[in-house]
Amino acid sequence: MQMLQTLDYVVFFIYFLIVAFYGFWIYNRKKAAQTSSKDYFLAEGSLTWWAIGASLIASNISAEQMIGMSGSGFRLGLAISTYEWMAAATLVIVAIFFIPVYLKNKIYTMPQFLNQRYNGTVAMIMAIFWLALYIVVNLMSILYLGALAVSSISGINIVACIFLLAIFAVVITLGGMKVIGYTDVIQVFFLILGGLVATWIALHLVAEKSGQSGLLAGFRIMTTDAKDHFHMIFKKDSPNYVSLPGLSVLIGGMWIVNLNYWGCNQYITQRALGADLKTARSGILYAAFLKLLMPVIVVLPGIGAYVLYQKGMFHAGMLSHTGAVDVNKAYPNLMTLLPEGFKGIAFAALTAAIVASLAGKANSIATIFTLDIYKKAINPNADEKKLVITGKATVIVAMLLAILMSLVIGEKLMGEGKQGFNYIQEYTGFFSPGILAMFLLGFFWKRTTANAALFATLGGFVLSCVLKFLPRWVNLDWLTPYGFYQPNPDNHGLFEIPFMDRMGFVFVFCVLGMAIINFVENKRGVVNKGLEVDTSMFRVSKGFAVGALIIVGLLITLYTVYW
């Protein structure tokens, strides 16, 4: 397998210098403001709409997409794009309904929202939940999958890659949200450029292997030779149904995944919470348009790698050390075929995606711990300088924990042919339904109580675990004909409820349970803390409305063509 050459390292070094010097320049422009916790964690009032949109995408597109989603493209095909395309629609909803509520009520962190809407107990429980989720699932998975890809392309030992990526991310994160936000603009440029290079080489090679040339010829051959990889909606007899269960991607669990991720997630909403409403909405709409482009740079390369694999390429490179086909190696194998120089661009893009997400996630971890745990429960009298120092220390501790878990359990959870992207989505989904129910009812139903919110959080998690692991204890094959349980190829063929459907069931359970608790407690005269919400908050400008309609029209077209 051909590794990086001299020109590739030169290109990568140029990328590194641009990010480093630009970040240093941004940091020094308002160095004095770094003593303010809101400026450090949120870059309050400093990010423009294009910086917010770019930062949203840079923080979202990481190893889980570049590597994990490309791997899912290798196995599932274009259908995995539903995460990206449905996210575009979700971002429009978040911009219209979620962000105005946060900004009107001066919400800076998600636990702060829960404290303001419910009480300190709910907020503290969720703050601890989020910290565990961000470190154990997100930070660790991004680091491991990223290091796996970097190691495959560069030939550097994976352990060294884990440490180098972590150090690079920590350096950027210590500069605060302002540095993260503006360096993310550069990261997105390299991310998109490198992704397009990967798509170019995939289409070019597919055409070449069939004795033709040109990108359009490559795409046409790809849609013919891998026809089964160009369907967005799987039927129940498909082996991939358990990953993307039919219409659930349009009317079911996919909405829970995306609304929770884009609307109730500190890691994401933090980019917009320091801006005014017009700027925040414009940035989110910009991110929605970029989301429509993402499958071109993260899914098509995976499908291209599948077609090339079927034609005899990558057979050795796709195998794990036990001999299983490792779909997470699809993207790295494709990168090794790029010409000298282009490989450096792709390598820079991959690194940009990984580092930007690590930095964003680490900053969110630091924000939640510092403002919602340290300031509230450990040191209420801490001054602004102390809060910033604590935040920086938290970044380092969180990254060390992620490094440790990557080394100990990374391969077990995401290696050996498993879809790393599905791992992240499924285990985040243990929390998503309850969190979303708690937020939505908290937004729009003033009678919702704190005990109802606790029920959604804890009850939703418990029911998710029961539905996931029940088949290990009880024979539920009799439920299979009714569509509840399907064999999961990623879990030794064990029958499971598709996790997308499971989230839908749990969400309904949480909403009904909350409604019952609300009814009982309202009868007893329990006083609830409402938010400031009025319909005028949800009005949008004509420009935003036109942009939103264009996105919806494009989505309808895409699903119609690739149904």
pLDDT at site 481: 44
What is the rounded CA–CA span in Å between residue 498 and residue 483? 9
DSSP letters for 137-150? IIIHHHHHHHHHHH
> What confidence tens digit (pLDDT) does each residue in 295-335 have?
888 888 888 888 888 887 766 666 555 556 777 777 777 77
Tokens representing residue 274 in the block: 């320091």
What is the rounded CA–CA span in Å between residue 44 and residue 193? 30
Q: Quick one: CA dihedral 561, 548, 284, 529, positive or negative?
A: negative
CB distance 388 to 31 below 8 Å: no
Environment class of 401 (CB within 10 Å of its CB; exposed 0-12, middle 13-18, buried 19+):
middle
CB distance 71 to 419 below 8 Å: yes
**Helix 177-209 / helix 300-310 crossing angle, nearest 10 deg:** 30
Percent of the chain with pLDDT over 90: 13
**Domain residue ranges in the chain:** 6-230+263-411
Give me the CATH topology for the region 6-230+263-411.
Sodium/glucose cotransporter (1.20.1730)
Which of 353, 395, 368 is CA-nearest to residue 171?
A: 395
What is the rounded CA–CA span in Å between residue 411 and residue 148? 9
CA 148 to chain CA centroid, nearest Å? 18
> What confidence tens digit (pLDDT) does each residue in 509-522 have?
999 999 999 888 88
> What confidence tens digit (pLDDT) does each residue in 47-60 have?
788 888 887 887 77
DSSP letters for 179-234? HHHHHHHHHHHHHHHHHHHHHHHHHHHHHHHTT--SHHHHHHHHHHHTGGGS-SS-
Report which secondary-structure segment, H or E, holds 491: none
What is the rounded CA–CA span in Å between residue 364 and residue 477? 42
CB distance 344 to 154 below 8 Å: no
Residue 127 reports pLDDT greater than 80:
yes
Local confidence band at 148 (pLDDT 50, 70, 90 cut-offs):
confident
What is the rounded CA–CA span in Å between residue 144 and residue 156? 14
Using CA atoms, how far residue 533 sits from 31, 99, 115, 275, 353, in Å, is 36, 12, 17, 19, 36
Average pLDDT over residues 396-421: 74
Q: Where are the alpha helices (DSSP H) in 210-239?
A: 215-225
> What confidence tens digit (pLDDT) does each residue in 40-97 have?
665 555 678 888 888 788 777 766 677 777 888 888 888 888 889 999 999 999 999 9
List 319's β-bridge partners, or say none: 325
pLDDT at site 515: 93
Torsion angle (degrees, nearest 10) of CA 386, 390, 392, 395: -170
Burial 461-496 (b: 16+ CB within 10 A, else e): bebbeebbeebeeeeeeeeeeeebbbebbbeeeebb
What is the rounded CA–CA span in Å between residue 190 and residue 298? 14
pLDDT at site 482: 41
Report which secondary-structure segment, H or E, holds 516: helix 499-523
Predicted TM-score (pTM) of the model is 0.81
Residue with tokens 């929605």: 288
pLDDT at site 93: 93
DSSP state of 117: H
Contacts of 480 by beta carbon, 8 Å cutoff, 6+ apart: 486, 495
- The three-class DSSP label of residue 270 is coil
Tokens representing residue 319 in the block: 């195998």
Using CA atoms, how far residue 354 sits from 62, 149, 359, in Å, is 5, 10, 9
Residue 487 reports pLDDT greater than 80:
no
Tokens representing residue 326 in the block: 């490792």
Select the highest-mean-pLDDT range: 158-162, 174-178, 421-425. 158-162
pLDDT at site 527: 63
pLDDT at site 284: 92
Burial 129-148 (b: 16+ CB within 10 A, else e): bbbebbbebbbbbbbbbbbb
